[in-house]
Amino acid sequence: MITRYITEQIKAHFFKGKAIIITGPRQSGKTTLINYILQDYANEYYFFNGDEPDVRDIFTGITSSRLKSLIGNKRIVFIDEAQRLNDIGIAIKLLVDNYPEIQVIASGSSALDLAGKIKEPLTGRIYQYQLYPLAYEEMTVHNGLLEENRLIPQRLIYGYYPEIVTKPSEEKALLKLLADSYLFKDLFLLGQIKKPPILEKIIRALAYQVGNEVSYNEIAQLAGADNQTVEKYIDLMEKAFIIHRLPALSRNLRNEIKRGIKVYFWDNGILNSITGNFNEINSRTDVGALWENFAVSERRKYLANHGLNVHSYFWRTTSKQEIDYIEEENNTFSAYEMKWNPRRKVTFSKTFSAGYNVSKTLTISPKTLENWIG
């Protein structure tokens, strides 16, 4: 069992009169995590699986008394694949309000659907967590720092999904299955994606532009779609934990890019599966982009796991000055450049330093990664 960072945080919120909601991409280990935690509560929990048709029927129009009759004297209720249940928000509200001594745990694979159903009825009634694919920080604890650092070239290719990490001889087949069958399942089931071929073209175009500023207009031309469709599909993929966007910082200087975005994939294995390129690092021409995707995504996992509230950006001017990644906290800025080669000399923009209150500049390479996200 690879220990997930949020395990102790979840345990600390048991029996506090609120439901615990865990969302994240499919196959990221949500069910495994909850089953691991519930080992300490053998015979004390009742399990509902939202994938089962009879469970979906039970939760349609359910009442608090009906729920209590099903649960009996169990202290914990675990609802897996909760996004499949139409009235899940109301059901959890009924349990929390009427039986605060019962701990409710619900997991769901897509924030797109689950968050929409729990937001209004459960305001003030939940602790919510997001479980991403495994993090570098978690794997350094599991493998040891030295061994995990040795594995970084492999992580840049195959990523951190739990099944990929634990079955290293089957990475390519498992990643193809994951990319083809699981990641977009919620979007298709909910009817949010009307034209799958366009989605495929959009995500392939994004995969080839990692590390670069993304133009909705350019993506639309490549995909044969309009800008509105491209923006909608990118938004849906972000809500389904496939990608995440990084906005441009534009506040003080006249020639800054005003409304640009970068798009990163939460997992390098998915990125490489989409491009179909699993060649080793030493033969890749895109190693800089792979490293930037890996480092930025790992940093954002780290921030989420530790509950650090910072604003993240990239910065670029019309004269091509740029900084890969910036964090703002209390109107103070930290600037980072991502370099796979630790010997690569980096000069940070004096224009940026003059225009913003910069407290730190750092080059993130494999040699400095552990101090940033370890």
The pLDDT value recorded for residue 180 is: 80
Compute the average pLDDT of residues 7-20.
96
CA distance 133 to 112: 17
Reference 352, options 260, 261, 255; nearest CA is: 255
Report, in angstroms and rounded to the nearest whole number, the Rg of the chain calculated over CA atoms: 22
Q: What percent of the chain has pLDDT over 90?
A: 76
Q: Averaging pLDDT over each range in 21-25, 45-49, 79-83, which range is the top one? A: 45-49
Reference 245, options 222, 217, 265; nearest CA is: 265
What does the pLDDT look like over 350-369, one tens digit per residue? Answer: 999 999 999 999 999 999 99
Lowest-confidence region among 2-11, 67-76, 174-183, 219-228: 174-183
Mean pLDDT of the chain: 92
The pLDDT value recorded for residue 102 is: 96
Q: Is the pLDDT of residue 154 over 90?
A: yes
10 Å CB burial of residue 35 (0-12, 13-18, 19+) is: middle
Compute the average pLDDT of residues 45-68.
93
Write down the CATH number for the domain with range 7-130. 3.40.50.300
Reference 75, options 50, 41, 48, 49; nearest CA is: 41
CA distance 174 to 152: 19
Tokens representing 166 are: 């634990």
Q: What percent of the chain has pLDDT over 70?
A: 97
CA distance 328 to 335: 9
CB distance 75 to 40 below 8 Å: no
The pLDDT value recorded for residue 236 is: 86
The pLDDT value recorded for residue 191 is: 59
What does the pLDDT look like over 196-250, one tens digit per residue? Answer: 788 889 999 999 999 999 999 999 999 999 999 999 889 888 988 899 999 999 8
Kindly list the domain boundaries of the chain, sorted by start residue.
7-130, 136-373
Q: Is the pLDDT of residue 119 over 80?
A: no
CB distance 82 to 106 below 8 Å: yes
Q: Is the pLDDT of residue 184 over 90?
A: no
Compute the average pLDDT of residues 142-161.
97
Compute the average pLDDT of residues 269-296.
96
The pLDDT value recorded for residue 84 is: 86
Q: 262-285 b/e with 16+ CB inside 10 Å = b?
A: bbbbbbbbbbbbbeeeeeeeeebe
Q: 320-339 b/e with 16+ CB inside 10 Å = b?
A: ebebbbbbbeeeebebbbbb
Q: Is the pLDDT of residue 192 over 70?
A: no
Q: Is the pLDDT of residue 185 over 90?
A: no
Tokens representing 319 are: 């004269």
The band of 29, judged by pLDDT with boundaries at 50, 70 and 90, is very high
Q: Do strands 19-23 and 103-108 pair parallel, antiparallel, or not at all (unpaired)?
A: parallel
Whole-model pTM? Answer: 0.93
Reference 305, options 4, 90, 2, 68; nearest CA is: 4
The pLDDT value recorded for residue 120 is: 73
